[in-house]
Amino acid sequence: MLTFAIIGVTLVGVLALFCFGGWEERLVGVLVLALLVLVPLLEPLQIGTWRAGIAALELVFLIAILWLTYARDRWWLTALAGFQLISVLTHLVPLLADGRHFVWTAVTIRMEVWLLICITFFVGAWEAWAARRFAREGGSHAQDKHPSSLVDLDAVQRP
């Protein structure tokens, strides 16, 4: 039941990216949909308790997100990359805790981090919408009305 809820939240988040996002958000949406399709296919690839197929897939997703983060100026991608890095690092638990019972701890952390990732989808959709609105309105801030908020010391009369 929890899995269906997580998939539902993921799909709604991806839909928000497609509806309100730019090409960056839509690319992330396509990558997430690819993850949803590829996870069941790569899940059987294991080395002992280490899920090598899923680890590789999540690492590729992290690399794609990092590339997108450095290529574009969307701040939500930085949070997404950070959460994805946490998820990738949890794949090291079975390698570091060989023979111990921490595998489910790592899986639980990944599920919780995925919910944080889903939240970033909604934030990303909002950020793209806000950027478009800001550009449409001319991109004016209250600060833009005053070219310099610094005091010009040469213009100030000294006693």
> Which pLDDT belongs to residue 106?
81
Nearest partner of 127 among 81, 71, 75, judged by Cα: 75
> Which pLDDT belongs to residue 102?
73
> Which pLDDT belongs to residue 140?
55
Domain spans of the chain?
Answer: 2-137
pTM assigned to the model: 0.80
Residues of the chain with pLDDT under 50: 142-144, 146-159
> Which pLDDT belongs to residue 135?
84
> Which pLDDT belongs to residue 151?
43
> Which pLDDT belongs to residue 154?
45
Q: Phi and psi dihedrals of 47, rounded to 5?
A: -120, 100
> Which pLDDT belongs to residue 153?
40
